[in-house]
């Protein structure tokens, strides 16, 4: 009899298992996939650590979380400076003076502010949707060029039908700093995320290729308490309906060139290109890369169904209403701890998942 059965070997499950084991508890971790690390999973090819489920750049301001992850990996000094491509013209992301200069030719923060103020949607209330949020932040030109079509492509929804909260994640600054994140600590684990997770799971029993739902009574009988990191609606047999996500398809190529796009992340914001971004993985960690080899991946938004990988929760009013019903059930279930992006139906960054796991373990 284990203290915990942890369903899911991703970031929440790994963090909770490590904390519990360090506290003298016993854990059994199972995962439906044939590998650990969840969507952080990386695989080496030609010395390049490919981010199989899309790019993962670790960043945090929290000293406790930074100290925790450094137990399991040495992080390089990678800084995310993505660019956006729109009909052959290049803009810097996040929105910064580089973006405003490319858009309007302005060279001072005052000029940029004035330009945005001329175009900005003025509201005497909170924005109702993503379009209103974007227009109130950055005005018409940037919205039409860099946000509108990208959003439609990514979410397969009109920006008017998406919650304002989605666009609040996008930084806007009036400096020449094009570092995407504001956080004090940033980087990629040298040697890849999978190696980091292997260290997180040292001394812990992990079984992959196990579908919890095929024999949940059997697995539940193995532990005093369940830690569930999968989809909360699936846990409750979709009794209140299905929660909606966006999924992704990936097209990956190995190329016999040293440098394909010159940057780790290039977004494609125009409607004429089916992918939202292209990743060149070697630029995340160049320590072991073979010469004249590179790996690129195109990210293509995909329609959701329950058999696909869930990436982005759609936190609109309808879905949040469904989720609240599941959360009420979960709050009454003392034998199960729900955690992570899917179980909490929340768009978490990695450091936020770790923070949630730390918090829920400390309260248990």
User: Which of 2, 236, 312, 347 is an active site residue?
Assistant: 347
Going by C-alpha positions, the residue among 81, 279, 57, 61 that lies closest to residue 176 is 81
Rg (CA), the chain: 21
Helix, strand or coil, per DSSP, at residue 191: coil
> Known catalytic residue: 349?
yes
User: Which of 246, 311, 344, 348 is an active site residue?
Assistant: 246
> Known catalytic residue: 169?
yes
DSSP 75-115: B-------EEEETTEEEESSBSHHHHHHHH---SHHHHHHH
Q: Residue 28's beta-bridge partner residues?
A: 5, 205
> Known catalytic residue: 173?
yes
Q: How far apart are CA 195 and CA 188, in angstroms?
A: 12
User: Which of 149, 280, 285, 349 is an active site residue?
Assistant: 349
Type and span of the H or E element at 298: strand 294-302
User: Which of 18, 212, 268, 277 is an active site residue?
Assistant: 277
> Known catalytic residue: 306?
no
Helix, strand or coil, per DSSP, at residue 134: helix
Residue with token string 């990191």: 229
Going by C-alpha positions, the residue among 189, 193, 198 that lies closest to residue 76 is 189
User: Which of 173, 216, 327, 346 is an active site residue?
Assistant: 173
User: Which of 31, 233, 244, 299 is an active site residue?
Assistant: 299
- Write out the two tokens for 112: 């940029």
> Known catalytic residue: 22?
no
Q: Buried (b) or exposed (e) across 63-99, using 16+ Cβ within 10 A?
A: eebbebbeebbebbebebbbbbbbeeeebbbbbbbbb
Q: How far apart are CA 162 and CA 169, in angstroms?
A: 14
User: Which of 124, 169, 217, 303 is an active site residue?
Assistant: 169
Q: How far apart are CA 350 and CA 348, in angstroms?
A: 6
Q: How far apart are CA 82 and CA 146, in angstroms?
A: 13
- Write out the two tokens for 84: 């956006």
Helix, strand or coil, per DSSP, at residue 168: helix
Q: How far apart are CA 324 and CA 321, in angstroms?
A: 5
The neighbour count for residue 324, using CB atoms within 10 Å, is 11
CB-CB contact of 154 with 301 (8 Å): yes
**Catalytic site positions:** 169, 173, 246, 277, 299, 347, 349
């Amino acid at each position: 009899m284990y203290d915990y059965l942890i369903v899911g070997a991703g970031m929440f499950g790994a963090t909770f298992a490590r904390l519990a084991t360090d506290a003298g508890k016993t854990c059994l971790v199972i995962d439906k996939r044939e590998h650990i690390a969840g969507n952080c999973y990386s695989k080496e090819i030609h010395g390049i650590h490919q981010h199989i489920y899309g790019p993962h750049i670790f960043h945090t301001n929290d000293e406790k979380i930074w100290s925790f992850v450094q137990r399991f990996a040495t992080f390089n000094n990678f800084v995310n400076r993505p660019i956006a491509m729109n009909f052959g013209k290049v803009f810097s992301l996040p929105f910064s003076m580089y973006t405003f200069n490319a858009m309007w030719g302005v060279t001072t923060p005052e000029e940029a502010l004035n330009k945005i103020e001329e175009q900005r949607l003025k509201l005497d209330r909170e924005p109702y949707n993503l379009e209103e949020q974007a227009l109130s932040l950055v005005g018409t030109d940037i919205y039409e060029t860099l946000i509108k079509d990208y959003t439609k492509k990514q979410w397969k929804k009109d920006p008017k039908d998406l919650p304002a909260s989605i666009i609040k994640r996008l930084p806007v600054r009036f400096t020449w700093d094009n570092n995407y994140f504001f956080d004090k600590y940033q980087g990629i684990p040298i040697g890849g995320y999978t190696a980091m997770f292997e260290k997180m799971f040292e001394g812990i029993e992990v079984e992959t290729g196990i579908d919890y739902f095929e024999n949940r009574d059997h697995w539940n009988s193995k532990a005093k308490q369940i830690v569930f990191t999968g989809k909360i609606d699936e846990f409750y047999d979709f009794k209140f309906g299905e929660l909606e996500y966006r999924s992704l398809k990936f097209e990956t190529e190995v190329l016999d060139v040293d440098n394909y796009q010159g940057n780790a992340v290039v977004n494609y914001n125009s409607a004429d290109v089916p992918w939202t971004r292209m990743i060149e993985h070697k630029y995340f960690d160049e320590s072991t890369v073979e010469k004249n080899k590179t790996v690129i991946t195109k990210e293509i938004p995909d329609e959701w169904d329950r058999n696909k990988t869930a990436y982005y929760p759609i936190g609109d009013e309808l879905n949040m209403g469904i989720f609240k019903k599941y959360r009420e059930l979960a709050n009454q279930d003392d034998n199960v701890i729900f955690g992570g992006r899917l179980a909490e139906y929340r768009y978490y960054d990695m450091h936020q998942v770790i923070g949630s796991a730390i918090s829920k373990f400390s309260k248990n």
